[in-house]
Amino acid sequence: MFPLSAFLISIGAVSAISGFLALLMVIADATIANYGEVKLTINDDHEYTVRGGKPLLGTLMEQEVFIPSACGGRGSCGLCKVVVEEGAGQYLPTELPWISEEEREKSVRLSCQLKVKQDMRIRIPEELFNVKEYDTTVKRIRDLTHDIKEVTLTLNEPNTIDMVAGQFVQFQVPEYELTDEPVYRAYSMSSPPSSTGEIELEIRLVPNGICTTYVHKYLKEGDQVTINGPYGDFFLRDTDREVVCIAGGSGMAPIKSILLDMLDKGINRRVRYFFGARTKKDLFLIDEMRELEKKLPDFQFIPALSEPEPEDEWDGEVGLITDVLDRHMESGDNVEGYLCGSPGMIDACVNVLTKNGVPDELIYFDKFG
């Protein structure tokens, strides 16, 4: 029979060996895997001395340089791409699904997967230096439709934001029943840049959407919310061309921001805004848009219903927004297009605009996809 003392000695020996190995791993991590301080150079003229060994995305965040990422650095959204000119090494298997052949030629890397192990030179859009993280408080939540909420956030620290009308922020969703850790989702701001102390977002409920479910089911006035931003290059170009805006659903947000900014700045260009919905209950901010028609000298709001119900008693435009747009477009000469919505909606509207003579390069869009 196996004696008890031998059994206990065996357990003790195994425990001692395990403890020793664990200690070795800790020492190895602190010494062998210690990359020390390395130099991180961004866009040739921003230099940071950082501690090596961590993913580039997190390292940049510690230096308050924020790269857009929807998954919080888990490598599951493919958004946090940067160009790495030096110091990157081979592509990692976890990066490859997200990087196209063309991007490989340009040394585009996924910053959440790539670790900083030596001096590194990277290139990012210059405007990302303006991105900050903000502590905010939910000031107001308003139902715009049965599935779209307007969320107003008061900025606490920092207490002002320097944005361009049409840009978006990333909203941090804390842990709750649909996520075990914080995740980020991007939403366009519907408030104008003049509203420096607070921002408005319009958030439509997406079935099973982690952030939209959180906002619609759990978020309440007075809650603390962390955001970062602003991001994006969807903004009104400084020309005198006629502006044609097209949106549907929560695509209203950046267009509203642009219109309010035009009002603030006294920009008097001709603007036509085509807004698509299915029935009257899917329309929102109609009164606000009619008010803007009175305040902006040459602004026309054109809502269209694709399938109005008899009880809607709708006497406005009927049809898909592409058909309505096509009916209204006389000539694409001297016209710029600003579109916000799903990739399908954007592609369809771009086709209508180009068919009517608006050059591709004068069509700007914020594609959700």
Partner 1 sequence: MKQTQQMKRAQANMAPGVLTLEGFLGRDQRHLLDIIIEDEAVVQRLDVSHETIARRMQFLRDGGEKGLGEFVTVEPGILVRVDSVRGKLPCPFEDQGLFEKTTTTVRNERINKDISYSDLHIHLIREHGFYEGKGFAFRLEPKELVEILEVPRLES
Interface positions with partner 1 (CB under 8 A):
70-72, 74-79, 97-98, 178-181, 183, 185-186, 204, 206-210, 248-249, 251, 276-278, 282, 306-307, 320-322, 341-345, 348-349, 367-369
Nearest approach, Cβ of residue 80 and partner 1 (Å): 11
Q: Which is nearer to partner 1, 48 or 368 (CB)?
A: 368
Nearest approach, Cβ of residue 114 and partner 1 (Å): 17
Nearest approach, Cβ of residue 248 and partner 1 (Å): 5
335-341 and 317-318 beta bridge pairing: unpaired
Give, as one character, the DSSP assignment of residue 91: P
Q: Which two tokens stand for residue 296?
A: 């902006």
Nearest approach, Cβ of residue 175 and partner 1 (Å): 11
Q: Which is nearer to partner 1, 242 or 366 (CB)?
A: 366
Nearest approach, Cβ of residue 179 and partner 1 (Å): 6
Q: Determine the 3-state secondary structure of 142 from DSSP.
A: strand
Q: Which is nearer to partner 1, 189 or 345 (CB)?
A: 345
Q: Which is nearer to partner 1, 35 or 368 (CB)?
A: 368
Closest by alpha carbon to 246, among 368, 369, 366? 366
> Which own/partner pairs from 323-330 qualify as long-range (CB within 8 Å, at least 24 positions apart)?
324/274, 324/276, 325/244, 325/246, 325/274, 325/349, 325/352, 325/353, 326/352, 326/355, 326/356, 328/272, 328/274, 328/302, 329/244, 329/353, 329/356
Q: Which is nearer to partner 1, 112 or 243 (CB)?
A: 112
Nearest approach, Cβ of residue 47 and partner 1 (Å): 31
Q: Which is nearer to partner 1, 72 or 193 (CB)?
A: 72
Q: Which two tokens stand for residue 11?
A: 């357990």
User: 313's torsion region: left (phi>0), alpha (psi -120 to 50) or beta?
Assistant: left
Nearest approach, Cβ of residue 342 and partner 1 (Å): 4
**DSSP run (H or E) holding 149:** strand 148-157
Per-residue DSSP letters for 291-331?
Answer: HHHHHSTTEEEEEEESS--GGG---SEES-HHHHHHHH---
Nearest approach, Cβ of residue 307 and partner 1 (Å): 6
Cα–Cα distance for residue pair 306/321, rounded to 1 Å? 8
Kindly give the residue spans of alpha helices, DSSP state H, lying in the chain.
4-30, 56-62, 101-105, 210-217, 252-265, 286-295, 321-328, 343-355
Q: Which is nearer to partner 1, 120 or 324 (CB)?
A: 324
Q: Which is nearer to partner 1, 192 or 341 (CB)?
A: 341
